């Protein structure tokens, strides 16, 4: 499946208007709340306990009552391995719920901002040869696991909804909030003094502070359609872990291993770097991944 663009530009707004955030308790939702608070911008945020986005009636009632101008869907099912067992749940949250939000957004004329993933791509060797700088937005999608398939179906529901939408694909998402690779590496490396990390899966991380800032810029400049947001440069999980340990001042050995020595229920794409030329063409330069990581490490250290 390809050509998911519908790329257009609407009249930019000087302000966001009324903002509603779903998935408010997750790492991305928390980052959104923090950034809007910092900018002194009003919003209403709902975690899964307050809003079940898989319940179409509940979604319709809430959105009809709040009547937001912008809906930020920061909710997602992200348990990549468990999704192989919980396929229905993954599709319910990552696809059906997107349809619910989009239908309600359309009914009141709101913009729906949704986040997807690099895991919609296969990571096949021929793809890397074709797109050495990363997958562009129009590249053919072919997920290799249930999580990726559920997120791709969410993109389809969004495009076909008739709603005003902006879909941002991100990769290796992590930040100072919630559960993510940075926190796992810091915890395990500190406790054990060593860990094994695969060195043959290539991509580039997206950091939540940078992601939210760029999301805001795209929204307020009237951008619509599909946009990739990630960091500049390519790395692998082992190199990423080594830099996390170095910047954190942790004395630990990170052993490189091939994927075959770390089997997981869900296969991962060997190459999922995304081309961010479109984002940069909108005046939003990609942050080098080591700089983005350093920002997150500083925030984590400030909280300890």
CATH code of the domain in which 161 resides: 3.40.50.720
Q: What's the confidence (pLDDT) of residue 15?
A: 64
What is the per-residue pLDDT across 109-128, written as a single tens digit (0 to 9) for each?
999 999 999 999 999 999 99
Among the listed residues 135, 147, 202, 262, the single catalytic one is 147
Q: Is the pLDDT of residue 260 over 50?
A: yes
- Is residue 161 in some structural domain? yes
Q: What's the confidence (pLDDT) of residue 3?
A: 39
Q: What's the confidence (pLDDT) of residue 303?
A: 84
Residues 170/118, Cβ–Cβ less than 8 Å: yes
CB under 8 Å to 57, separation ≥6 — which residues?
A: none
What is the per-residue pLDDT across 218-252, written as a single tens digit (0 to 9) for each?
999 999 999 999 999 999 999 999 999 999 999 99
What is the per-residue pLDDT across 23-35, written as a single tens digit (0 to 9) for each?
999 999 999 999 9
- Is residue 12 in some structural domain? no
- Is residue 4 in some structural domain? no
Alpha carbons 118 and 272: distance in angstroms, whole number: 6
Which string of DSSP letters, residue by residue, matches 131-183? -TT-B-TTSPP--SSHHHHHHHHHHHHHHTS-SEEEEEEESSEE-SSSS-HHH
Of the candidates 156, 182, 189, 150, the residue with the CA atom closest to the CA atom of residue 303: 182
Q: Is the pLDDT of residue 61 over 80?
A: yes
What is the per-residue pLDDT across 6-17, written as a single tens digit (0 to 9) for each?
444 444 444 689
Residue 173 burial (C-beta neighbours within 10 Å; 0-12, 13-18, 19+): buried
Mean pLDDT on 185-198: 98
- Is residue 126 in some structural domain? yes
Q: What are phi and psi of 287, to 5 degrees?
A: -85, 130
- Is residue 26 in some structural domain? yes
119 is catalytic: no
What is the per-residue pLDDT across 37-57, written as a single tens digit (0 to 9) for each?
999 999 999 999 999 999 999
Mean pLDDT on 55-83: 97
Q: What's the confidence (pLDDT) of residue 22?
A: 98
- Is residue 200 in some structural domain? yes
pLDDT, mean over the chain: 94
Q: What's the confidence (pLDDT) of residue 243?
A: 98
Q: Is the pLDDT of residue 2 over 90?
A: no
Q: What's the confidence (pLDDT) of residue 93?
A: 98
- The domain tally of the chain equals 1
Alpha carbons 104 and 64: distance in angstroms, whole number: 7
Q: Is the pLDDT of residue 200 over 50?
A: yes
Q: Which domain holds residue 194?
A: 19-236+264-302
- Is residue 221 in some structural domain? yes
Q: What's the confidence (pLDDT) of residue 6?
A: 42
Residues 272/171, Cβ–Cβ less than 8 Å: yes
Say whether 300 sits in a helix, a strand or coil. helix
What distance lies between CA 198 and its chain's CA centroid? Answer: 21
CB under 8 Å to 300, separation ≥6 — which residues?
A: 176, 182, 183, 186, 248
Q: Is the pLDDT of residue 159 over 50?
A: yes
- Is residue 246 in some structural domain? no
Q: What's the confidence (pLDDT) of residue 90?
A: 98
Q: What's the confidence (pLDDT) of residue 99?
A: 98
Radius of gyration of the CA atoms of the chain, in A: 19
Q: Is the pLDDT of residue 167 over 80?
A: yes
CB under 8 Å to 178, separation ≥6 — which residues?
A: 26, 27, 28, 30
């Amino acid at each position: 499946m390809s050509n998911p663009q519908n790329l257009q530009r609407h009249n930019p707004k000087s302000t966001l208007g009324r903002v509603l955030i779903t998935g408010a308790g997750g790492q991305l939702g928390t980052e959104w709340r923090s950034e809007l608070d910092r900018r002194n911008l009003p919003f209403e945020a709902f975690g899964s306990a307050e809003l079940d986005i898989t319940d179409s009636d509940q979604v319709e009632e809430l959105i009809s009552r709040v009547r937001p101008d912008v809906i930020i869907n920061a909710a997602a099912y992200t348990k990549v391995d468990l999704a192989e067992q919980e396929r229905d749940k993954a599709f319910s949250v990552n696809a059906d719920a997107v349809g619910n939000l989009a239908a309600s957004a359309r009914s009141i004329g709101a913009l729906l901002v949704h986040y997807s993933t690099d895991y919609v791509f296969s990571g096949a060797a021929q793809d890397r040869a074709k797109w050495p700088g990363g997958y562009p937005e129009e590249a053919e999608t072919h997920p290799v696991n249930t999580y990726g398939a559920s997120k791709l179906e969410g993109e389809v529901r969004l495009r076909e909804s008739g709603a005003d939408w902006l879909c941002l694909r991100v990769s290796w998402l992590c930040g100072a909030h919630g559960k993510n690779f940075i926190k796992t590496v810091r915890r395990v490396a500190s406790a054990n003094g060593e860990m094994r990390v695969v060195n043959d899966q290539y991509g580039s991380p997206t950091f939540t502070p940078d992601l939210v800032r760029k999301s805001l810029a795209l929204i307020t400049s009237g951008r619509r359609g599909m946009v990739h947001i990630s960091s500049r440069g390519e790395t692998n999980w082992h190199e990423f872990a080594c830099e996390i340990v170095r910047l954190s001042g942790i004395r630990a050995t990170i052993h490189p291993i091939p994927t075959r020595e770390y089997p997981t229920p869900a296969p991962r794409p060997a190459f999922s770097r995304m081309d961010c030329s479109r984002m940069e063409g909108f005046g939003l330069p990609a942050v080098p991944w080591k700089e983005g990581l350093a920002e997150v490490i500083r925030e984590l250290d400030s909280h300890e």
